[in-house]
Structure 1
Amino acid sequence: MFWFLLLAMVVVVAAVTLAVVGGGKSAILQDVAPEQLTDPLPATRPVGRADVEALRLPVAARGYRMADVDDALGRLGAELAERDARIAELESALAGAQATRAGRPDLLKQPQDRPHAPWEAPEPQGEAPRPDEETGR
Structure 2
Amino acid sequence: MFMFLFLVVALVVVVGAVTLSVVGGGDSGALPDALPERLRDPLPVDRPVHRGDVDALRFPLTLRGYRMADVDDALGRLGAELAERDARIADLEAALSGARSATAPSATAAPATSLQTTSLEKPAEEDRR
Fold agreement, TM-score > 0.5: yes
Aligned counterpart in structure 2 of residue 36 of structure 1, from 23, 30, 38 = 38
> Following TM superposition, by how much is the alpha carbon of 1:45 offset from its aligned partner in structure 2, in angstroms?
0.4
Aligned to 2:85: 83
Kindly indicate whether residue 62 of structure 2 is the aligned counterpart of residue 56 of structure 1.
no
For 2:14, give the aligned amino acid: V
* CA displacement, residues 95-128 of structure 1 (integer Å, 9 cap, x when unaligned): 222222235x28xxxxxxxxxxxxxxxxxxxxxx
> Following TM superposition, by how much is the alpha carbon of 1:27 offset from its aligned partner in structure 2, in angstroms?
8.4
* CA displacement, residues 11-41 of structure 1 (integer Å, 9 cap, x when unaligned): 2222112212211136875654532215521
For 2:7, give the aligned amino acid: L
- Tell me, in whole angstroms, the C-alpha distance in 2 between the residues paired with 1:35 and 1:10: 39
Aligned residues: 105
Higher relative contact order (CA 8 A, sep 6+): 2
- Tell me, in whole angstroms, the C-alpha distance in 1 between the residues paired with 2:63 and 2:14: 32
Flag as ranges the 4+ runs of structure 1 deviating above 4 A: 26-31
> Following TM superposition, by how much is the alpha carbon of 1:73 offset from its aligned partner in structure 2, in angstroms?
1.6
> Percent identical across equivalent pairs?
69
Kindly indicate whether residue 34 of structure 2 is the aligned counterpart of residue 46 of structure 1.
no
CA contact (8 A) 2:41 2:57 kept: no
Aligned to 2:19: 17
Q: Secondary structure at the match of 2:98?
A: helix
Aligned to 1:109: none
Stretches of structure 1 that go unaligned for 5 or more consecutive residues are 107-137
Q: Which has the higher helix share?
A: 2
Kindly indicate whether residue 79 of structure 2 is the aligned counterpart of residue 65 of structure 1.
no
- Tell me, in whole angstroms, the C-alpha distance in 1 between the residues paired with 2:61 and 2:99: 51
Aligned to 2:114: none
Q: Secondary structure at the match of 1:85?
A: helix
Q: Secondary structure at the match of 1:81?
A: helix
For 1:54, give the aligned amino acid: A
Structural RMSD (CA): 2.6
For 1:98, give the aligned amino acid: R
